[in-house]
């Protein structure tokens, strides 16, 4: 490997925080390296907020069309062309990604280097980047920002290796409508797909091991959502744990669950696991830089988003806590205020409307 290239700033990941930070630093005259191993724009643009909300919009149109007669508007038979839904979604995603790409290209040049590849720490303040088009590069900087996000947690119940399991990314690529979608997980991602596919016309069963859906929300909110779901014809099994899964004849899937009333066998055509996310810290090997992680692999930061290694910061989902685009964007604002505008912003006073969220003491991470 050739000699390390020195930068003023390195940003790993191009998502909600990671995409604005390099631009802000480059505009301030710093020499910046931005590294991305996947698609520019990260989860939100490519496989999170943008595509889901686009598909939710299609599902709402199907829902309204079916209810048209209630409003005195008569339509013909309603059918959903999932391939057309998917193409529309893809168009939106590409538009959003290109929009971001053009912002980067506008500042790309001597002050901003975009490296397509996977970064991993090889020493404190030093990263090795395995470039997508071959070869590796070693780069260093006194300031490093980790915005590597998270990915879907894999289902590990008995028999899982014998059936296809969808996650939040692969379910958006289905070409035909599931006849009966079984969803394990009643958090916001599970709910979003549950309602969407019900409105597209699938039968949907939701399995949640907590006593109610949306455990992080106030009880009255989650009760109301459950009521609406049941009214829409979704089967909601709360306090229910998935135990075992296996193939049934005709391409169907059998799921054994433990409900408060005892064991029950469910069968469906498709299975979605929406059981949480895991941080992208394994490939990054932060331990090589002495960066502390919590027991679940999230990077520990203080209120100013600094890790235990001075000059190394983490933002977005990879530091744990509420996993939202606006949280990641606000992390960027905190860093910009403190490091470019000589301010003193902190995550401590940030208002996040979640029921189980306590104010975060320094060095704390939120539980899922
Ligand atoms: C299905 C779904 C729907 C969602 N809907 C919403 C919503 O409606 N509203 C909302 O607020 N939030 C939503 N979210 C959450 C939101 O997408 C995330 O909170 C947000 O994307 C987090 O951004 P981030 O900054 O942590 O980075 P991410 O978006 O996770 O991006 C991290 C980037 O880092 C790159 N990377 C990782 N490791 C490396 C490495 N070693 N080297 C180089 N690059 C690396 C990845 O390729 C990725 O591009 C949704 C998420 C999902 C999954």
Each residue of 317-345: pLDDT tens digit? 999 998 999 999 999 999 999 999 999 99
Of the residues 14, 45, 49, 115, which should be mutated to test ligand 1's pocket, given the most ligand atoms within 8 Å of the CB? Answer: 49
The pLDDT value recorded for residue 314 is 98
Which atom of ligand 1 is closest in space to residue 119's alpha carbon? 42
Residues forming a β-bridge with 204 = 181
pLDDT tens digits, 258-303:
999 999 999 999 999 999 999 999 999 999 999 999 999 999 999 9
Using CB distances shorter than 6 Å, the residues near ligand 1 are: 12-18, 35-38, 42-44, 48-49, 52-53, 118-119, 147-150, 168, 189, 280, 283-284, 316-318, 323-326, 328
Q: How far is the CA of 317 from the centre of ligand 1 (A)?
A: 7
Residue 252 Cα to ligand 1 midpoint, Å, equals 32
For 9-15, what is the mean pLDDT? 95
Q: Give the residue, 349 or 176, on which the prediction is more confident.
A: 176
- Chain centroid, CA 47 distance in Å: 7
Q: Using DSSP, state whether 105 is helix, strand or coil.
A: helix
DSSP class of residue 109? B
In DSSP notation, 3-29 reads PPEE-SEEEE--STTTTTHHHHHHHTT
**pLDDT score of 9 more than 90:** yes
Residue-level pLDDT at 41: 94
Residue 359 has pLDDT above 70, yes or no: no
pLDDT of residue 107: 82
Distance (Å, rounded) from C-alpha 319 to C-alpha 280?
10
Please tell me the predicted confidence (pLDDT) of residue 2: 62
Ligand 1 atom closest to Cα of residue 323: 19
> Quick check: 364 pLDDT over 80?
no
What mean pLDDT is predicted for residues 154-165?
A: 98
DSSP state of 262: E
Nearest-CA residue for atom 35 of ligand 1: 13
On the question of pLDDT at 358 being above 50, the answer is no
CA distance 86 to 299: 35
Q: Angle at CA 27, nearest 5°, toward 24 and 30?
A: 90
Task: Tell me how far apart the alpha carbons of residues 164 and 40 are, in angstroms, rounded to a whole number.
Answer: 28
Lowest mean per-residue pLDDT among 4-18, 44-58, 99-113, 151-165:
99-113
Give the residue carrying structure tokens 């606000």: 330
- Measure 42 CA to ligand 1 centroid, in angstroms: 5
- Residue bearing the CA closest to ligand 1, atom 31: 42
Instruction: With beta carbons less than 8 A apart as the criterion, state whether 238 and 215 touch.
Output: no
Mean pLDDT of the 243-269 span: 96
Strand intervals (E) in the chain: 5-6, 9-12, 32-36, 112-123, 126-131, 136-140, 143-146, 150-152, 180-184, 203-208, 235-238, 241-247, 253-259, 262-268, 270-273, 277-279, 312-314
Smallest CA-to-CA distance from 161 within 10, 271, 296 is with: 271
Average per-residue pLDDT in the chain? Answer: 93
Nearest Cα to Cα of residue 252 among 147, 302, 181, 355: 181
Do residues 14 and 41 lie in contact, with contact meaning Cβ atoms separated by under 8 Å? yes
Asked if the model's pLDDT at residue 15 lies above 60, the reply is: yes
Q: How far apart are CA 111 and CA 8, in angstroms?
A: 10
* Calpha distance 36→146 (Å, rounded): 11
Q: Quick check: helix, strand or coil at residue 72?
A: coil
Helix (H), strand (E) at residue 245:
strand 241-247
State what percent of residues in the chain have pLDDT above 90. 86
pLDDT at residue 134 is higher than 80: yes
Please list, in sequence order, all residues whose beta carbon lies within 8 angstroms of the beta carbon of residue 154, skipping any fewer than 6 positions away.
Answer: 165, 167, 273
Spatial distance between the Cα atoms of 368 and 356, rounded to a whole number of angstroms: 10
SS3 124: coil
CA distance 170 to 55: 14
Residue 368 has pLDDT above 80, yes or no: no
Q: Atom 51, ligand 1: which residue's CA is nearest? A: 48
């Amino acid at each position: 490997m050739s000699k390390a290239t020195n930068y003023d700033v390195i940003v790993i990941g191009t998502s909600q925080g990671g995409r604005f930070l390099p631009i802000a630093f480059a505009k301030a005259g710093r020499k910046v390296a931005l590294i991305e191993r996947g698609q520019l724009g990260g989860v939100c643009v490519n496989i999170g907020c943008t595509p889901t909300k686009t598909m939710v919009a299609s599902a709402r149109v199907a829902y309204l069309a079916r209810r048209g007669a209630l409003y005195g508007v008569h339509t013909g038979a309603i059918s959903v062309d999932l391939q057309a839904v998917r193409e529309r979604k893809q168009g939106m995603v590409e538009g959003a990604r290109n929009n971001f790409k053009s912002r980067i290209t506008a500042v790309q040049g001597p002050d901003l280097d975009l490296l397509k590849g996977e970064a991993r720490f090889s020493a404190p303040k030093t990263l090795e980047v395995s470039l997508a088009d071959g070869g590796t590069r070693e780069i260093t900087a006194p300031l490093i920002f980790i915005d590597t996000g998270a990915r879907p947690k894999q289902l590990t119940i008995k028999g899982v290796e014998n059936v296809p399991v969808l996650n939040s990314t692969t379910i958006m690529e289905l070409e035909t409508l599931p006849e009966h979608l079984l969803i394990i997980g009643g958090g916001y991602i599970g709910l979003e797909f549950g309602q969407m596919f019900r409105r597209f016309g699938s039968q949907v069963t939701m399995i949640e091991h907590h006593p109610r859906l949306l455990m992080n929300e106030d009880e009255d909110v989650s009760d109301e959502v459950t009521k609406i779901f049941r009214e829409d014809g979704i089967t909601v099994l709360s306090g229910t744990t998935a135990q075992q899964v296996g193939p049934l004849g005709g391409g169907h899937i059998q799921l054994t669950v433990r409900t408060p009333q005892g064991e029950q066998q469910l069968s469906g055509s498709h299975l979605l696991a929406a059981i949480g996310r895991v941080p992208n810290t394994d490939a990054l090997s932060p331990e090589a830089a002495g960066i502390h992680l919590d027991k679940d692999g999230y990077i520990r930061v203080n209120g100013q988003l600094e890790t235990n290694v001075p000059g190394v910061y983490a933002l977005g989902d990879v530091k744990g806590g509420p996993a939202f685009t606006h949280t990641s964007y606000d992390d960027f604002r905190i860093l910009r205020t403190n490091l470019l505008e000589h301010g003193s912003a902190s995550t401590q006073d940030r208002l996040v409307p979640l029921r189980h969220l306590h104010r975060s003491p320094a060095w704390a991470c939120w539980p899922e």
